[in-house]
Structure 1
Amino acid sequence: MTLEKNHRTENWKKNIILFLSSQTISLFGSALVQYAMMWHITLHTESGMMMTLFIICGFVPTFILSPFAGVWADRYNRKILIILSDGFIATATLILAIVFLTGYDAVWLLFLMAAIRAIGTGIQTPAVGAILPQIVPKENLTKVNGINGSLHAIIMFVAPMVSAALLTMATLEVIFFIDVITAVIAIFTLLGFLKISAHEKASDQQPPSYFEDFKLGVTYIKSNSFLKQFFLFFGVFFILMAPAAFLTPLQVTRSFGDDVWRLTAIEIAFSVGMMAGGGIIASWGGFPNKIHTMTLASLLMGICTLALGIVPVFWVYLLFMAIFGIAMPIFNTPTTVLLQEKVDESYLGRIFGVFGMISTSMMPIGMLIFGPMADVIKVEWLLVGTGILILILSFFLGVNKVLLETGKPVVEEPAK
């Protein structure tokens, strides 16, 4: 066994608890601020265009930065990159809080903050995806990613309620300061307690050209039939998911009523489902072949998308929304683990960077297609149509020989 593998297998449980704890604390503070800024803009502008601009500022920098951040995650110490991105966001948030305290609280500053936070997220996401295999033995990756998914779901469930409560009792600046404190705690935890060495490539002499490293990553994808077909599947899948992800609140308002509690109910049902799904995949682990697990989950999502377009009773609608939430981590966890297991560790950052580009761009592209259609076609018909297409796509996923071969369980070589 190599020294790095020895390091990974010794005390890995302690390391992953520290790592997930730090990331959960940081994510909670970030989620509080994200919701608070969104609601502040909504309440003070009452403008759909302003909300659209805020959303664009929140995803475009991540999309643009993803391929660069992927190279950085392969070139440099991933733990340091995570710390720097957290510190970058916390510093910007602190400056914004001080500016707001002086009385200058222009909305454009919140757009700027959304873009800055997106830059930090763009740097951090490939590094987090690539660092987990350095900490966790391969046979435990599914369980750990499932637990991580459940933690994220819990935060997405709790953060809106806490943020709303704070806004009724305190100012926006107070929430900014809370985010700064949670970031400092996360950084201190990583710096002071998490012992993990740089991965092998980060310790080597780096090529002089950044673009040479990037081209090597592109060449790696082109020469890998699994990655080419995997990314093609996800590109189509994310486009088809757009109506279920973005248009269901509009559908509920039009078809069931514009009561705020209904919109809250669908978010709660989905979040509770995601928490349950994370627990299921963490304890079950999925089928031996990860593509079979992904196929089952995508079939469930296709069925739920179709059902959301035809059920006439709101409580039944909520049930299918909860099942949709359950299917999400059962789908996402083996997806992440498959990349962590099958991609050469020296390319992991770049692969997660490309994957990040796909995940952040395809759903907005889907909205460019389906959003205008929702003004001339009932959302129910869009859900029925995309649900059927997701079911067809799931069938092709389940019979793809290249993906099925790659999805087979990893057989660990005996220690020498």
Structure 2
Amino acid sequence: MEQAMKRRRATYHIWTFTASKLISAFGSQVYTFAISFYILQLTGSATSFAMNLICSILPRTIAAPFAGYAADRWPKKTIVLTAQGATVLAVGGLLAVSLIHGLSLPAIYTTTAIISLAATFSGVSFSAAITGLVDEARIQKAMSLNQMSISIAAIGAPAVGGLLYGTVSMSLFLILFMAAEAVALVLEATMNFRLFNRKADAGEATGEGPAKEPLLKSMKAGLAYLKTQPIIMTIIWISLFINFLFGAFQVGYSYILIEKMKMASEHFGLTEGAFAVGMLLMSVYLSVRKEVKYPLLLSKWGIVTMGLIMASVAFPLLVNLPYTGLFIFYASVMFAFGLVMILVNTPIQVMIQKRVDDDYKGRVFAILETMAMALMPLGTVLYGFLYDLLPAEWILMVSASVLIAVVLTMARPSVVRKAHPELAKSRQDGPETPEPAAE
């Protein structure tokens, strides 16, 4: 009876979590779209656009270890709700400034940094709480539905943002974001974050769990634990280099379409919507299929594919396309990118959820986020300057080539077989066979 009640409660968590992420992500996407377009149209500079990205990336990189420590020591629910509240207040502050003095870059950068800090504490705590919210058999479904909600928001929000941009005030964009975060906060307040946790959260409410040690000692314990998990360390190192190199795409895509191709805001929004459609379809597929058998192998070839897609962004810079052809090409590229990104991320996240002890989840996810983003500020600054100085097509193609080389080296066959011993073959370091799309 108790197990049946827990499963029903877990089902409620899955759908409440999905709904809260859908609402919050919609507001966030609309805000990000409007702010990005505002900065690029105000300054016309990839460097200024990159500075806003830095204000999002740098706080996350610095705060992630503290977020992991907090998630392992204090109630995750309290951290999530506090972070959501801080986001609402930060956007409210920017709204007040815009009404009194008008929007300025310093005000936008400051708000972006605060939102980023709040998102770090909320994201790490939620990641560490997944096995407490749902039963182990439905982890992939929960994470796929989470991605699906983000994708649905990403489909509608850029399209809505593109249609509204220039016709309504920036204040309305900020109000939409505030309202979405407030509704998400209310939904998350109804969830039990300790429903299924095996160990750590038993003493979490009183702060007397296994993470009671001081901050520095706690971080050292997390690193010591990771040394016993070589496959997860490999994933972390791959994330470090991949996220640095993807700065070429992150900065370059918006810069190329808005500044180089002069694409209209509504069409730019639709290309980003195509990215979200790809994410949505793959998320739906992963939510109903059985768990991926070889996640590291699948992610390896998925990242190689992402590198090829990143290089293809430069194609219209080398070959003249009519405006309609340009729109169709970039929408197709983003659709494919969305498909592959979910295929890379979700199985790896499920793998980490199941391999990491509950006592260390907060710190492990914090270290993963820190390492994944450690070089992103440098990459964003570097690529922001490079796009103002060098041909965009060469930046993209060289970065994509390095990306593919890094993944093939760090996730070489011998490493993949350590993660999945059943892949071992008689011929050492022999060829691999990627997992088929469906089993």
TM-score bracket, normalised by the shorter chain, equals 0.7 to 0.9
Q: Show the counterpart of 2:245.
A: 240
Q: Show the counterpart of 2:102.
A: 105
CA separation of 1:173 and 1:272: change in aligned 2, threshold 3 A:
same
Q: Show the counterpart of 2:302.
A: 297
Are positions 1:189 and 2:187 aligned together?
yes
- Deviations for 1:14-45, whole angstroms, at most 9, x for unmatched residues? 21111221222122223333333444444555
Offset of residue 85 of structure 1: 0.5
Aligned 8 A contact 2:57 2:376 in 1 = no
When the two structures are superposed, what TM-score results if normalisation uses the length of structure 2?
0.80
Q: Show the counterpart of 2:17.
A: 19
Are positions 1:391 and 2:404 aligned together?
yes
Corresponding letter in the other structure for 1:335: I
- The range that moved more, 349-358 or 175-184, is 175-184
CA separation of 1:265 and 1:185: change in aligned 2, threshold 3 A:
closer
When the two structures are superposed, what TM-score results if normalisation uses the length of structure 1?
0.84
- Deviations for 1:268-327, whole angstroms, at most 9, x for unmatched residues? 433332222322333345641111221231232133234444574544554344222210
Q: C-alpha distance in 2, partners of 1:381/1:230?
A: 28
Offset of residue 124 of structure 1: 0.8
Q: C-alpha distance in 1, partners of 2:410/2:50?
A: 34
Aligned 8 A contact 2:222 2:364 in 1 = yes
Aligned 8 A contact 1:142 1:337 in 2 = yes
Match of 1:330 among 337, 343, 366: 343
- The range that moved more, 303-312 or 54-63, is 303-312
Offset of residue 406 of structure 1: 3.2
When the two structures are aligned, how many residues end up with a matched partner? Answer: 403
- The range that moved more, 177-186 or 395-404, is 395-404
Q: C-alpha distance in 2, partners of 1:177/1:253?
A: 25
Aligned 8 A contact 2:30 2:160 in 1 = yes
Q: Show the counterpart of 1:87.
A: 85
Offset of residue 122 of structure 1: 1.4
Match of 1:365 among 370, 378, 383: 378
- Deviations for 1:373-411, whole angstroms, at most 9, x for unmatched residues? 5556543333333333333344345544444443579xx
Q: Show the counterpart of 2:264.
A: 260
Are positions 1:347 and 2:360 aligned together?
yes
Match of 1:288 among 288, 293, 306: 293
Aligned 8 A contact 1:70 1:349 in 2 = yes
Aligned 8 A contact 2:240 2:371 in 1 = yes
Identity of aligned residues (%): 20
- The range that moved more, 306-315 or 266-275, is 306-315
- Deviations for 1:162-213, whole angstroms, at most 9, x for unmatched residues? 334455554333433333332232222222x323327542443252512221
Q: Show the counterpart of 1:356.
A: 369
Corresponding letter in the other structure for 1:14: Y
SS of the equivalent of 1:159 reads helix
Aligned 8 A contact 1:225 1:402 in 2 = no
Q: C-alpha distance in 1, partners of 2:247/2:50?
A: 16
CA separation of 1:13 and 1:366: change in aligned 2, threshold 3 A:
same
Aligned 8 A contact 2:194 2:201 in 1 = no
SS of the equivalent of 1:26 reads helix
Q: Show the counterpart of 1:180.
A: 178
Corresponding letter in the other structure for 1:88: A
Q: C-alpha distance in 1, partners of 2:225/2:330?
A: 43
CA separation of 1:373 and 1:42: change in aligned 2, threshold 3 A:
closer
SS of the equivalent of 1:89 reads helix
Q: Show the counterpart of 1:171.
A: 169
Are positions 1:55 and 2:59 aligned together?
no
Q: C-alpha distance in 2, partners of 1:87/1:231?
A: 30
Q: C-alpha distance in 1, partners of 2:31/2:151?
A: 17
Aligned 8 A contact 1:238 1:363 in 2 = yes
Offset of residue 65 of structure 1: 0.6
Q: Show the counterpart of 2:284.
A: 279
- Deviations for 1:330-359, whole angstroms, at most 9, x for unmatched residues? 001112112111111111111111222233
Corresponding letter in the other structure for 1:125: G
Corresponding letter in the other structure for 2:200: K
Unaligned runs of 5+ in 1: 410-416
Aligned 8 A contact 1:146 1:278 in 2 = yes
Aligned 8 A contact 1:73 1:127 in 2 = yes
CA separation of 1:349 and 1:400: change in aligned 2, threshold 3 A:
farther
Aligned 8 A contact 1:251 1:380 in 2 = no
Q: Show the counterpart of 1:76.
A: 74
SS of the equivalent of 1:11 reads helix
Corresponding letter in the other structure for 1:234: S
CA separation of 1:352 and 1:408: change in aligned 2, threshold 3 A:
farther
Q: Show the counterpart of 2:134.
A: 136
Offset of residue 60 of structure 1: 1.7
Offset of residue 369 of structure 1: 4.7
RMSD of aligned C-alpha atoms? 3.2
Offset of residue 130 of structure 1: 1.3
Unaligned runs of 5+ in 2: 423-439
- The range that moved more, 216-225 or 197-206, is 197-206
Q: Show the counterpart of 2:435.
A: none
SS of the equivalent of 1:228 reads helix
Aligned 8 A contact 2:244 2:373 in 1 = no
Q: C-alpha distance in 1, partners of 2:310/2:39?
A: 30
CA separation of 1:305 and 1:168: change in aligned 2, threshold 3 A:
closer
